[in-house]
Amino acid sequence: MKNFPIPTAEQVSSANQAFFGNLQKLVGFVPNLFAVFAHSENALGNYLALQNAKTSLKAKEREVVNLVVSQYNHCVYCLSAHTAIAKMNGFSDSQILEIRKAEISFDPKLDALAKLVKGIVENKGHAPAALSDNFLAAGYSNGNLVDVVVLIGDKTITNYLHALTEVPVDWPLAPEL
């Protein structure tokens, strides 16, 4: 949907204004996609609670999931945002491209994670058993597996919201593969 309106702080509820203020402090701006959530009285708060929920996954592992899911869903907005965040977490440009392809040469454990995530999204949850076996053999736990699925759901929400709204990307654009 082209030209989907991006609300300003003055146009949203007081609860959403508080979230805008927190985002401004944390990120330095209110990302367009987060602003779109504020069309709903509850969606922004609900999404931020999900995104900031406790998880067994480390920051770098979360970015692997975010990048693989966003690549599969062709979400330029989330690829751009998570490329920037992945760099903040210590990944290089070349490593980020490997992650997006789910072909990680620099870390076998992250490679097992990326391949599992790709298998889950490609097969709508029905990943081949060999991928989950490899994930567990790489040192992950059943709890990690559950957290991976929750994070895939988290990222799918923003990927789909961007696909529907097509709001402008306000992050440095991620390179195409």
Cα 134 from Cα 16, distance rounded (Å): 42
Q: Is the sign of the CA dihedral 8, 42, 58, 115 positive or negative?
A: negative
On whether both 43 and 63 belong to a single domain, the answer is no
The answer on 90 and 143 residing in a single domain is yes
Is the entire prediction scored with pTM above 0.85? yes
Tokens coding 8: 């300003």
Q: Are residues 45 and 71 in the same domain?
A: no
> Are residues 69 and 46 located together in one domain of the fold?
no
The string of pLDDT tens digits covering residues 112-168 is 999 999 999 999 999 999 999 999 999 999 999 999 999 999 999 999 999 999 999
Domain total of the chain: 2
